[in-house]
Chain A
Amino acid sequence: MTDETRLSELRAKFGRVPPAPDEPSPKPLTLREKQPRFEGLVSGHRACQGCGEALAARLVMESAGPDVMVANATGCLEVFTTPWPQSAWHVPWIHSLFENAPAVASGMEAAMKAQGKKTKVLAFGGDGGTYDIGFQALSGMLERYHNILYVCYDNEAYMNTGIQRSSSTPHAASTTTSPAGKDRMGKRHLKKDLLSIIAAHHVPYAASASVAFPADLQRKVRYAMGIEGPTFIVVHSPCPLGWKHASALTIEVARRAVECGLFPLVELERGSLSNVMPIRSPRPVRDYLEVQGRFAHLMKDKDPRAEKERDHLQALADYNIATFGLAGAAQDANDTGGAAAVGRGGPLVGGM
């Protein structure tokens, strides 16, 4: 299929033929319709105030769309975007079960292939649907080498059902099923290193991203969209309700997670580390913990157990920094400082 026919097909599908200058447009576009970005996930969705996942999904759709379709696992994203009879999606979208989004997406991709179409299939899941429940379907999808971008919105617990711990919940976080109290300091176990497991499938591209660094996140999505084959991105998406922080702090919390080393931003191609976002000046893990209610029990200064767990989390962060080489040698346009730089008129590309 030539680009020209593909383009006319897309125009017919989306009806966005721009009117000629002399042609009166039928109805003037509203400001919202004139937004210079693709809105695949529109307003009116029922996410909570300051939802990191809604933000992450919107950012992903902006860079991936419009020629995409989505298979969505059960979870917050599915629930808050599609309260019957409404939908916030501006692309074909399907939800089947908690555990089978990668399998459904595999079928969609096979159907596109059979029809000779190039529409890219995306599969979305939360950390519950990805790290736990849909894990074997995801593994199968990667192994069968489907041309699918899987995006995991990682908010580190089953938020939709009431904040139950998942295998993605970080060590020592308090959830309703790993409550902090007399006997335990929150979750006993460690956060699963899913990215290494994905990378072990030898897929072309697997990356972690964060809502605090939207330009970096969107670059990774665009890169993955250009790859023919299974690709995977996990996006750290704070949940004000489950993490117990103010809704205005979503970005700040996500940023601190990256800057302390607990959520490293890395890219793996064919199983090997190809890129990392260096941390300009690593901050103590305490900065990250103290703004979240789910770690409030670690902030008790007189409790030796709290001190031990804080040191444990700091050791995990230090381990990440050492393992991935996150401590940059010098200031760099792509480190956590440079990636955030803005100036008059927008983000500073290559800004220090």
Chain B
Amino acid sequence: MAVLTRGAYALPGTSLDFKTGNWRSTEVPAHVHAKAPCHGACPAGEDQQAWFGLLQQNNLEGAWRELVSANPLPAITGRVCPHPCETACNRVTLDGALAIHNVERWLGDRAIEHGWAYPAAAPAADAPVVAIVGAGPAGLSAAWHCVRLGLRAEIFEALPEAGGLLRSGIPPTRLPRDVIDAEIERLLAVPGITLNLRARLGRDVTLDGLRRSHAAVLLGPGCQEGKDWSVQGAVPVDLHEGLALLREFMDVGAFPPGDRVIVHGGGNTAMDLCRMLKRAGAGHVTLVTASGLPGPETDPGDVINVVPRELEEALEEGVEIIAHATINRLIMKGSKVTGVEVVSLRKLKGADGRTKRVSFEGTERVLPVDLVVPCVGERVSPEGLEGLLRGGYLRSVDAWGRLAADGVIAMGDARGDRGTVAEAIGDGRRAALAAAALVAGAPEPQEDAREVLQANALNTRYYPPRARSAAPKLPVEARTFEAEIEGCIGSDAALAEAARCLSCGNCLACDNCWTFCPDNAVIKTVELARDGSHYVFDLDYCKGCGLCAAECPTGYIQMVAEA
């Protein structure tokens, strides 16, 4: 501090000598990169906020590169994903969640159209090779992430085409075949990935052989066998299991005859099947499900587990749904079914605290039918996996999918508690991380363990209102077996959606902290600061008032306890 005699005048600017930072009592502002809720909710591990941020800067290819750093199949998930990201989106409290799903599809299609190259360097010629069983979404994702991590990937697929359930289980009205072809072909062209077709586990290759010849074995065989289904022991002779029927239809192009069809189950396969049957000309298609329909009175845990827009479209198309019910009895004429007895039921907590299905006597009703299709789920085909299956699945207790056998990692539907393409893609990424850790001899792979930013951490006052854009949809009359029902959102609407992103937990460089600090303790930098923002806190002068944190729109600034 300058020493001045009495009567002297103050030197200009000398108050800078007085460090008011020691006035802070308990809390200090900090830049906290919390996870955006979309990122936290994404089963594939995408950071939607990050690529929306790049879209806001009009860097479309950069946005796609960021997107595929987690999910290499955006044109596909942009069509089939139930988008939990949108459910989690903090903008839902303002003027509707972002249309992330539609923008993802637009960006994925754009990458195919412009031929943007997948961003990964070719792995070294002598890099360890990882064996991947199954070229479905999990296997393809695992292969991509292996290459990103510097490993080579060799995929073994039983069928003559890559794609797995994308081809066999999802109708072209949701996922056109040319999109699958284009996206998978581009991904498989990434150097470091080799694909062996018609190589079935247990017939052409064995697990033990793969374990000997490769650094790790990632298993993504999917679920190929329908679960056994009977009603009190009765099984109709012409039983068609749901997924098999769907697959058959995609190959043959026709369903078994029947005007009155009952589908039993409550998943996306059941829903797809109902809609296809209806479109194929069945007069009455009825879904019998033990779950409830979404509504104010239904417990969220009890709602039918399908993509909401699919349910909406199915109802539009005239599929009937009997909720909270099950099939109690099959009425057979010989070994052919002619009717079913349906009974109401609820999932109720029993005395032991477990949820049980309780059917209510006196609610039985008989429906005449020509065809009953069970869609009650599938399990892993045991071929080549003897000794690894637990209850029909490759169950794994850890998040990475590691199995008891050393260096064998399970992923996708085969794990038994998965159900979406996005989950399979996320599993592929985690399995590749686990394989890379194994190869490197690292003890544990690392997952992003940051907290998810809650809506109350935002200051939404600073976001101008902007309505959500909707993607076009085919009217019910125009829906066929081939034409895609949902259309593309278009570039203008996609970029308008991008501008709606709140950037939860990430710096917008909006200058609010810099403008509002009464103590000039926020310093702006032209270069990017170490934490990825354009601001640093000068704690020499910060009195800890908390204004910057209160006025930060994105919750990126938070008051934390003084170290």
Residues of A within 8 A of B (CB): 31-32, 34-36, 39, 41-52, 54-55, 58-59, 81-91, 214, 240, 246-252, 255, 331, 337-338, 340-348, 351-352
Contact with A along B443-464 (1 / 0, CB 8 A): 0000000000000000001111
Contact call B520/A43, Cβ cutoff below 8 A? yes
- Evaluate contact between A42 and B13: CB separation under 8 angstroms: yes
Contact B13 A87 (CB under 8 A): yes
Interface string of B492-536 (1 = CB under 8 A from A): 000000010001000011111001111111011110000000001
Chain B residues in 8 Å Cβ range of A255:
461
Instruction: Report B-chain residues with C-beta under 8 Å of the C-beta of A41.
Output: 520
B residues contacting the other copy or chain, number (CB 8 A): 56
Q: Does B465 contact A (CB under 8 A)?
A: yes
Q: What's the nearest-Cβ distance from chain B to residue A56, in Å?
A: 9
Where the two chains meet, the residues of B that have a C-beta atom closer than 8 Å to any C-beta of A are 1-2, 4, 8, 10-20, 23, 53, 56-57, 461-465, 499, 503, 508-512, 515-521, 523-526, 536, 538, 540-541, 543-547, 549-551, 553, 559
> Are B465 and A342 in contact, CB atoms less than 8 angstroms apart?
no
Instruction: Find the B residue at minimum CB distance from A252.
Output: B550
The answer to whether A32 and B523 touch across the interface, beta carbons within 8 angstroms, is yes
Q: Roughly how many angstroms separate A158 CA and B545 CA in the complex, as a whole number?
A: 22
Instruction: List residues of chain A with CB within 8 A of the CB of B559.
Output: 248
A84→B10 contact, CB < 8 A:
yes
CB contact between B545 and one of A50, A58, A86, A351 (< 8 Å): that residue: A50
Inter-chain contacts of A86 with B (CB < 8 A):
1, 10-11, 14-15, 17-18
Give which listed residue, B11, B18, B503, B526, contacts A44 with CB less than 8 A: B18
Q: Which residue of B lies closest to A341 (CB)?
A: B464
Does B521 lie within 8 Å of A31, measured CB to CB? Answer: no
Could you tell me the distance in whole angstroms from the C-beta of B55 to the nearest C-beta in chain A? 10
A90 touches B519 (CB 8 A): no
Nearest chain A residue, comparing its CB with the CB of B14: A86
Given A44-B16, A344-B53, answer yes or no on A248-B550 (Cβ-Cβ < 8 Å).
yes
Q: Which residue of A lies closest to B503 (CB)?
A: A344
Q: Assuming A45-B20, A347-B510, what are 16 further A-B pairs, CB within 8 angstroms?
A: A31-B523, A41-B520, A43-B521, A44-B18, A49-B544, A52-B518, A54-B518, A85-B14, A90-B13, A247-B546, A248-B559, A251-B550, A341-B464, A344-B510, A345-B508, A346-B511
Contact residues in B for A351 (Cβ distance below 8 Å): 464
In contact, B547 and A247 (Cβ under 8 angstroms): yes
The 3 closest A-B pairs by CB, nearest first: A248-B546, A44-B15, A50-B545
Q: When the two chains form their complex, are residues B15 and A214 in contact, meaning their CB atoms are under 8 A apart?
A: no
Q: Which residues of B contact A44 (CB under 8 A)?
A: 14-20, 541
**How far is A16 from B239 in the complex, measured between Cα atoms in Å?**
88
Whole-angstrom CA separation of A63 from B424 in the bound complex: 56
Residue on B nearest A246 in the bound complex, by CB: B546
> Is A337's CB under 8 angstroms from B546's CB?
no
Contacts of B12 in A (CB 8 A): 87, 89-91
Chain B residues contacting A46 (CB-CB under 8 Å) are: 18, 20
B57: A residues at CB distance < 8 A: 344
CB-based contact A248/B547 at 8 Å = yes
A87 partner, pick from B11, B509, B525, B547, beta carbons under 8 A: B11
Residue of A nearest to B516 (CB): A251
Contact B509 A344 (CB under 8 A): yes
What would 30 A/B residue contacts be, using CB atoms closer than 8 Å?
Answer: A36-B524, A43-B16, A43-B519, A44-B16, A44-B20, A49-B544, A49-B545, A49-B546, A51-B545, A83-B15, A85-B11, A85-B14, A86-B1, A86-B18, A87-B11, A87-B14, A88-B15, A247-B545, A248-B545, A248-B547, A248-B549, A248-B559, A338-B464, A341-B464, A342-B508, A342-B512, A343-B508, A344-B53, A344-B56, A344-B503
Complex-state Cα separation, A249 to B459, whole angstroms:
12
Is B464 a contact of A352 with CB atoms below 8 Å? Answer: yes
For residue B517, which residues in chain A have a CB less than 8 angstroms away from its CB? Answer: 55
CA distance A81 to B14 in the complex (A): 10
A residues near B524, Cβ cutoff 8 Å? 35-36
Who on chain A is nearest to B544 by CB?
A: A49
**A59 → chain B, closest Cβ, in Å?**
8
Q: When chains A and B are docked, how far (Å) is the Cα of A344 from the Cα of B545?
A: 25
Residue picked from B1, B512, B547, most chain A C-beta under 10 Å: B547
Question: A344 to chain B: which residues have CB within 8 Å?
Answer: 53, 56-57, 503, 508-510
Q: How far is the CA of A47 from the CA of B547 in the complex (A)?
A: 14
Q: Which residues of chain B come closer than 8 Å to A47, judged between CB atoms? A: 518-519
Q: Is the CB of A85 within 8 A of B2?
A: yes
The answer on a CB contact under 8 Å between B541 and A43 is: yes
Chain A positions within 8 Å of B546 at CB level: 49-50, 246-248
Q: Do A345 and B465 have beta carbons less than 8 Å apart?
A: no
Residue of A nearest to B517 (CB): A55
Report the Cα distance A252→B510, complex, angstroms.
17
CB closest residue in chain B, given A336 = B461
Which B residue sits closest to A337, measured CB to CB? B464
Q: How many Å from the CB of B4 to the closest CB on chain A? A: 4
Residue of B511, B543, B545 touching A250 (CB-CB under 8 A): B545
A346–B541 contact, CB under 8 A? no
Task: Report whether B519 and A87 are in contact in the complex, using a CB–CB cutoff of 8 Å.
Answer: no
Contact of A342 with B553 in the complex, beta carbons under 8 Å: yes
CA distance A36 to B503 in the complex (A): 25
Whether B518 pairs with A55 at a CB distance below 8 angstroms is yes
Q: Are A87 and B510 in contact (CB under 8 A)?
A: no
Report whether A337 and B508 are in contact in the complex, using a CB–CB cutoff of 8 Å: no
Point out the residues of chain B lying under 8 angstroms from A55, CB to CB.
516-518, 547
Q: Is the Cβ of B516 less than 8 Å from the Cβ of A85?
A: no
The listed residue with most A CB atoms (<10 A of its CB), out of B12, B57, B508, B518, is B518
Please name the residue on chain B nearest to A39 by beta carbon.
B520
Q: Name the A residues within 8 Å of B509 (CB-CB).
A: 344-346
Chain B's nearest CB lies how many Å from the CB of A20? 20
The minimal Cβ–Cβ distance linking B525 to chain A, given in whole angstroms, is: 6
Taking a contact as CB atoms under 8 Å apart, the answer to whether B53 and A85 are in contact is no
Chain A residues near B15 (CB, 8 Å)? 42-45, 81, 83, 86-88
Chain B nearest CB from A211 CB (Å) reads: 8
Question: A344 to B461, alpha carbons, bound, how many Å?
Answer: 15
Do B519 and A45 touch (CB < 8 A)?
Answer: yes
Could you say which residues of chain B place their CB within 8 Å of the CB of A87? 10-15
Q: How far is the CB of A237 from chain B (nearest CB, A)?
A: 10
Residues of B within 8 A of A54 (CB): 518-519
Determine how close the nearest CB of chain A comes to the CB of B532; give it in whole angstroms. Answer: 13
